[in-house]
Structure 1
Amino acid sequence: MEEPNQSVAAAASSADPTVGLRAVVALYRLAETLEALQVRNARNKGWSWQEIAEALGVSKQAVHKKHSGRV
């Protein structure tokens, strides 16, 4: 039996667009959830918005705008 994330990853490359696009959405939602979790983790450990932005490869303004209300 495949792990759930492996089956989603495999589905993302499906020749069936319905299957592939649903898998893309699932992966996107997972990535968004993990990003929010890790930003919250970093902020709780005292990381600055600049440090988080550098780790994510985005601007400080972008990460602050996206996550400041969540933390």
Structure 2
Amino acid sequence: MESAELASAAADLSHPTEGLKAVASLRLLVETLEFRQVEGALRAGLSWTEVAELLGVTRQAVHKKYSKRIDPTINVPRRERR
């Protein structure tokens, strides 16, 4: 099923079983896309703070969620400690 079809099925309240399956599939798709975008952003030189701001979460949240999953060869900019 394509993304548009999944979104349509997820919004259709007349078939809850199919709707919930579509929601679960969309969740997996979004998680996969988010991970790929986070990794791409870090490769492009964005910091954890910048990524977090773009996602609307805290730096700690995005770091906790992805820091152990990203490619270890990515040179992530570090913020200076004061």
**TM superposition score normalised by structure 2:** 0.80
Where in structure 2 are there 5+ consecutive unaligned residues?
71-82
Where in structure 1 are there 5+ consecutive unaligned residues?
none
Aligned position for 2:8: 10
Q: Which amino acid aligns with 1:26?
A: S
Query: What is the percentage of aligned positions where both structures have the same residue?
Result: 51
Specify which structure has the bigger relative contact order, considering alpha-carbon pairs within 8 angstroms and separated by 6 or more residues: 2
Q: Which has the higher helix share?
A: 1
Higher Rg of the two aligned structures? 2
| Structure 1: 4+ residue segments shifted above 6 A | none
User: Cα RMSD over matched residues?
Assistant: 1.1
Matches within 5 A, 1:1-71: 4-14=2-12, 15-71=14-70
- How many equivalent pairs are there? 69
**TM superposition score normalised by structure 1:** 0.92
